[in-house]
C-alpha cells in the first residue's frame, strides 16, 4: 500500500521527539469527547487515505452475491497454508516469525497502537443500534468489548498482556505504527458519513488471516500468553463468527432503492484501508536487535548523564560525556563491544561486565532498564543461542538440554496447583464508575442512550465505567 503523502518513512523515534502526524491524530481521537475540529480532521484523514489507496487492488469478489463463497474459500486456503506451516515445524523448521523472545516482545509493542483500539471502527454505529440492518455490526462491536466481561474485552486483554510482560504502553514507536489505529479511530467517529467504507473495512479486517494462527502458536511456544490472538481465531470464524457477520452486514445493507453498485464500490475501497500502516509482517521484519539496543541506550542517555562517577570512562571519555550526546549511542556501543570483557557477544550474558551491571546480586544499575529492555540486551548478547526463547531472568544452565514449556502448559500446571482467583478484582473502586452510575440514574430516553454510547467509545470501554455501560447496553430491551 502507498503511505500517506508527506508521512515519514518507517523508523524508530524517541518519545522525546515530536509526534508524527499519525500519532498526533490517534491521540486526539482517543479522547472521551471529540470537538468539531477533531471530527473534521478525521474525515479529511480518511479522504486522504482513500485517495492514497485508490489504485490498489482489493481481495474481494466482483459482486456481493459471491461474498460467502469468497469467505469460505479464503478460510480453507488459510487452513491449508497453516497445515503446511505445522508440517514444516514438525520436520524441524525454525519459527517463521520470532527469532527469540525479544523479537516477540518487540512485535507486541509495535502492534500495540492498533490492538489498543481493537474494534473502534464500529463504535459510531452504536448510536443507531436500534436499526435492524446494522444489528450484525453492532453485535460484532459488543463482542469486541466482551459484552462487558473484563476477561473477554479485547483491548483490556491486550493491556493486561503488555502489563504482564512489563511492556510500557507509552514507549516510543515509529509513526507508521500509529497509522492503522488512527484509521480505525477515524472510521469509528465518522461511521455515519463513511458507512460503506466502515462496512468494507470490517469485511476485510474480520477475515481469518494466516499470520494470526502463526503468531498464536509461536507466542505460546515462547512461553507468552497467546490468548488475545487465539480468541480472535475463534470469534472470527466463518460459521457464526465475525467473518460471517461481516458478510451478512454487507448483504443486509445493500441499497434497495438507491445505487447498490456505487455502495459496493465504496465497500471495496473501505476494505483497502485495512492494509495501510504497519502490519504484522512489517512489524516482524522491522526487528534489528542491535539497532533496538542502540535505541534503548539513546532513550536512557539523557537520564544517565551526570549520574556516573568521574572515573567511569570508556575510550578516553567519561561515561557522563558519552551520555550527554544521545545521538552518539551507536559509537558508544561500538566502544563497549571493543573493550575487553565488557560485551562478550555469542556467550552467556553473565560473562559480560555490562550485563553484570544490570543484573545480579550486586548489580549497580539494577532497575535502570525495563524488563523488555533487559530481554533485548540479553538476547542480543546471546546471539543465535537466544533462539531457545530463554527469558533474561533464567540462566542457560536451567534450560540446557530442555525444551521450553509452552505458555498453556505452564498455565495448566499452575491451575492444578492453585485455584485461579476471580479475574480482575477491584473494578468497583473507580471514580468514573461512580459518576457514570449517578449520571445513569438521573437520565432517561435519548440522553441515557447517548451516555451509554459515549462510555462505549474506544477511550473508555475497557475501563470499569465502560465495562458497566457495555453490560447495560448489551442487556437493553
- What pLDDT is attached to residue 302? 85
- What pLDDT is attached to residue 12? 37
Residue 299 lies in a domain: yes
Structural domain harbouring 441: 431-474
Say yes or no: 441 and 370 in one domain: no
Of the residues 283, 311, 331, the one at which a domain ends: 283
Residue 383 lies in a domain: yes
Lowest mean pLDDT among 121-125, 149-153, 306-310, 459-463: 306-310
Q: Does 232 have pLDDT greater than 90?
A: no
Which CATH number covers residue 150? 1.20.910
Number of domains into which the chain is organized: 3
Say yes or no: 336 and 189 in one domain: no
Say yes or no: 216 and 264 in one domain: yes
Task: Categorize the per-residue pLDDT at 17 as very low, low, confident or very high, splitting at 50, 70 and 90.
Answer: low
Of the residues 283, 310, 338, the one at which a domain ends: 283
Task: Categorize the per-residue pLDDT at 239 as very low, low, confident or very high, splitting at 50, 70 and 90.
Answer: low
Q: Could you tell me the three cell numbers for 192?
A: 455515519
- What pLDDT is attached to residue 142? 96
413 or 313, which is more confident: 313
Q: Does 383 have pLDDT greater than 60?
A: yes
Lowest mean pLDDT among 46-55, 108-117, 322-331: 322-331
- What pLDDT is attached to residue 449? 93
260 or 304, which is more confident: 260
Residue 352 lies in a domain: yes
Residue 440 lies in a domain: yes
Say yes or no: 277 and 303 in one domain: no
7 or 15, which is more confident: 15
Q: Could you tell me the three cell numbers for 380?
A: 542480543
Residue 412 lies in a domain: no
Residue 164 lies in a domain: yes
Say yes or no: 356 and 320 in one domain: yes
Q: Read off the pLDDT of each residue in 428-455 and give the average, rounded to a whole number.
A: 91
Task: Categorize the per-residue pLDDT at 426 as very low, low, confident or very high, splitting at 50, 70 and 90.
Answer: low
Report the 10 Å Cβ neighbour count for 211. Answer: 16
Lowest mean pLDDT among 20-29, 35-44, 225-234, 252-261: 225-234
Say yes or no: 63 and 179 in one domain: yes
- What pLDDT is attached to residue 312? 84
Residue 92 lies in a domain: yes
Q: Read off the pLDDT of each residue in 143-158 and give the average, rounded to a whole number.
A: 95
Say yes or no: 239 and 335 in one domain: no
Lowest mean pLDDT among 67-71, 110-114, 287-291, 405-409: 405-409
Say yes or no: 74 and 209 in one domain: yes
Say yes or no: 75 and 93 in one domain: yes
Say yes or no: 390 and 438 in one domain: no
Lowest mean pLDDT among 51-60, 88-97, 285-294, 313-322: 313-322
- What pLDDT is attached to residue 396? 52
Of the residues 233, 255, 283, the one at which a domain ends: 283
Say yes or no: 209 and 356 in one domain: no
Q: How far apart, in whole angstroms, are the C-alpha atoms of residue 115 and residue 108? A: 9
Q: Does 379 have pLDDT greater than 90?
A: yes
Say yes or no: 94 and 141 in one domain: yes
Amino acid at each position: 500500500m502507498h503511505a500517506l503523502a508527506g508521512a515519514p518513512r518507517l523508523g524508530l523515534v524517541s518519545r522525546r521527539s515530536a509526534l508524527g502526524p499519525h500519532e498526533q491524530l490517534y491521540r486526539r481521537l482517543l479522547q472521551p469527547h471529540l470537538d468539531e475540529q477533531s471530527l473534521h480532521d478525521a474525515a479529511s484523514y480518511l479522504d486522504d487515505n482513500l485517495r492514497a489507496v485508490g489504485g490498489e487492488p482489493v481481495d474481494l469478489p466482483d459482486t456481493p452475491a459471491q461474498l460467502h463463497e469468497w469467505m469460505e474459500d479464503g478460510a480453507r486456503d488459510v487452513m491449508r497454508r497453516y497445515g503446511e506451516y505445522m508440517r514444516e515445524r514438525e520436520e524441524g523448521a525454525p519459527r517463521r516469525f520470532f527469532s527469540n523472545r525479544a523479537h516477540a516482545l518487540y512485535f507486541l509493542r509495535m502492534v500495540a497502537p492498533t490492538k489498543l483500539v481493537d474494534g473502534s471502527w464500529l463504535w459510531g454505529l452504536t448510536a443507531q443500534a436500534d436499526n435492524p440492518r446494522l444489528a450484525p455490526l453492532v453485535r460484532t462491536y459488543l463482542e469486541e468489548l466482551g459484552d462487558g466481561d473484563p476477561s473477554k474485552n479485547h483491548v483490556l486483554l491486550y493491556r493486561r498482556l503488555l502489563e504482564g510482560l512489563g511492556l510500557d504502553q507509552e514507549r516510543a514507536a515509529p509513526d507508521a505504527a500509529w497509522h492503522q489505529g488512527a484509521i480505525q479511530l477515524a472510521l469509528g467517529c465518522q461511521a455515519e458519513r463513511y458507512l460503506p467504507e466502515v462496512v468494507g473495512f470490517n469485511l476485510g479486517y474480520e477475515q481469518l488471516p494466516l499470520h494470526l494462527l502463526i503468531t498464536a502458536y509461536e507466542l505460546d511456544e515462547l512461553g507468552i500468553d497467546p490468548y488475545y490472538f487465539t480468541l480472535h481465531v475463534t470469534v472470527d470464524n466463518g460459521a457464526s463468527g465475525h467473518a460471517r457477520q461481516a458478510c451478512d452486514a454487507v448483504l443486509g445493507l445493500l441499497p434497495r432503492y438507491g445505487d447498490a453498485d456505487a455502495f459496493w464500490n465504496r465497500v471495496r475501497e473501505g476494505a483497502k484501508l485495512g492494509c495501510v500502516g504497519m502490519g504484522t509482517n512489517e512489524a516482524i521484519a522491522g526487528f534489528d536487535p542491535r539497532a533496538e539496543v542502540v535505541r534503548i541506550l539513546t532513550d536512557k542517555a539523557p537520564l544517565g548523564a551526570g549520574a556516573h562517577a568521574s572515573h567511569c570512562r570508556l575510550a578516553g571519555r567519561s561515561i557522563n560525556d558519552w551520555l550527554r550526546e544521545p545521538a552518539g549511542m551507536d559509537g558508544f556501543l561500538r566502544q563497549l563491544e571493543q573493550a575487553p570483557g565488557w560485551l562478550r557477544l555469542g556467550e552467556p550474558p553473565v560473562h559480560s561486565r555490562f550485563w553484570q551491571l544490570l543484573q545480579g546480586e550486586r548489580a549497580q544499575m539494577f532497575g535502570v532498564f525495563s524488563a523488555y529492555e533487559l530481554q533485548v540486551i540479553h538476547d542480543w548478547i546471546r546471539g543465535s543461542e537466544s533462539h531457545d526463547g530463554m527469558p533474561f531472568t533464567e540462566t542457560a544452565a536451567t534450560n540446557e538440554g530442555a525444551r521450553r514449556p509452552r505458555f498453556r502448559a505452564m498455565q495448566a500446571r499452575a491451575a492444578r496447583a492453585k485455584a485461579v482467583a476471580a479475574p480482575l478484582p477491584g473494578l468497583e473502586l473507580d471514580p468514573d464508575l461512580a459518576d457514570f452510575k449517578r449520571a445513569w440514574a438521573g437520565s432517561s430516553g435519548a440522553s441515557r442512550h447517548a451516555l451509554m454510547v459515549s462510555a462505549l467509545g474506544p477511550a473508555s470501554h475497557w475501563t470499569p465505567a465502560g465495562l458497566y455501560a457495555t453490560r447495560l447496553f448489551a442487556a437493553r430491551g
